[in-house]
Amino acid sequence: MRDKFRGLLPESPQPERRLRFRGGTLDRIDGFESSFLKSKRNVVVYLPPNYDRLSDVGYPILLMQDGQNLFEPHTAFVPGKHWRLREAADHTIRTGLVEPLIIVGIENAGVERIHEYTPTHDAAREAGGQAPRYAQMLIEELLPILRECYRVAQGSPRVGVGGSSLGALVSLYLALQHPDVFGRAAVMSPAAWWGDRAILGEIEAFSGSEKPRLWLDIGAREGRDAVADARMVRDSLKARGWSKADLYYREESFAEHDETAWASRAPAMLQFLFPAKEPPRLPARRVRRATR
């Protein structure tokens, strides 16, 4: 499979292809192609602090939708407004709240976004319904490449998926349909209204033996309908057996439906989904001693 992507991925992480920061680093995969979807997309991979030094460590991985809005202000849908997810990961890892993890930002495919991020077809909109094919792209193509190129830990509890709005909708769908692959999900301001709230049927039909760990949130300023829908998703999950250990629900009083709001909740989301099990293995800071 690697030959198919030769030229898109380095044989091993190469410093000249990586943007250097004081904390984690970003690798970029430009023009990722799928045999299941017709559009190319870019992928950005966040590698945690000390990734190159700790060669014996296997890292959990979080696949995030709408990748152009996560790490860099100039690629965001609204220029300058992004999730600051690199900074959130750096800070929570350095302070010992979150275990070091790999975060993959999968950019959306523009006009194809509404089709790929929705599990059902909407006849009135003439859109949607390609989420199963999007799942195939992630599971059969992208994840194997990421596991080959990076030190990704094995097992569904070590693999998460997440996003906001329609990205949250498809992430919840992925966790419900493929709990053997995605053991955690960040469901932020989900577009639960899609398809006459078809996601509630997905929850009702869930039959996995292991329940994925879910972060679910909404902002009060996203509208009464959005809050009511999020509460319906929460209540449906609880009715199907999700407990406080598996499900964290949060309503943010003054939050709107935008990147600024999701950025403010990103650190807590990371901490719930990937809490640190032990203090991070990071080098001690050098202290310059005063001389007399």
Structural domain including 179 reads 2-273
On whether residue 287 sits in a domain, the answer given is no
The per-residue pLDDT for range 17-33, each reduced to its tens digit, is 444 435 899 999 999 99
Indicate which CATH number applies to the domain containing 67: 3.40.50.1820
Indicate if the pLDDT at residue 162 is higher than 80.
yes
Note the maximum CA span of the chain.
Answer: 78
H or E element at residue 106: strand 102-106
Q: 35-93, pLDDT tens digit by residue?
A: 999 899 999 999 999 898 877 779 999 999 999 999 999 998 888 899 999 999 999 99
Taking residues 224-239, report their average pLDDT. 98
Within-domain flag for 175: yes
Sheet holding 247-252, edge to edge: 18-19, 25-32, 41-47, 102-106, 61-64, 159-165, 184-190, 213-219, 247-252
Is the pLDDT assigned to residue 281 strictly greater than 70? Answer: no
280, part of any domain: no
Quick one: pLDDT at residue 287? Answer: 38
* pLDDT exceeds 60 at position 246: yes
> Which class for 273: exposed (0-12), middle (13-18), buried (19 or more C-beta within 10 A)?
buried
Q: Does the structure show a pLDDT above 80 at 196?
A: yes
pLDDT band at 13 (very low <50, low <70, confident <90, very high): very low
| DSSP structure string for 254-270 | T--SSHHHHHHHHHHHH
Over the chain, what is the mean pLDDT? 89
The secondary structure of residue 58, as a DSSP letter, is -
- Is 242 within a domain? yes
| pTM of structure | 0.87
Does residue 281 sit within a domain? no
Question: Does residue 292 form part of some domain?
Answer: no
Q: What distance in Å separates the CA atoms of residue 29 and residue 5, rounded to the nearest whole number?
A: 10
289 assigned to some structural domain: no
Which residue has better confidence, 224 or 57? Answer: 224
Distance CA 78, CA 69 (A): 8
Round to whole Å and give the CA distance between 37 and 224.
35
Looking at the structure of the chain, the number of domains it has is: 1
Instruction: Give me the amino acid identity at 234.
Output: R
pLDDT at 80: 87
For residue 278, the model assigns a pLDDT of 61
Examine the pLDDT at 8 and tell me if it is beyond 80: no
279 lies in some domain: no
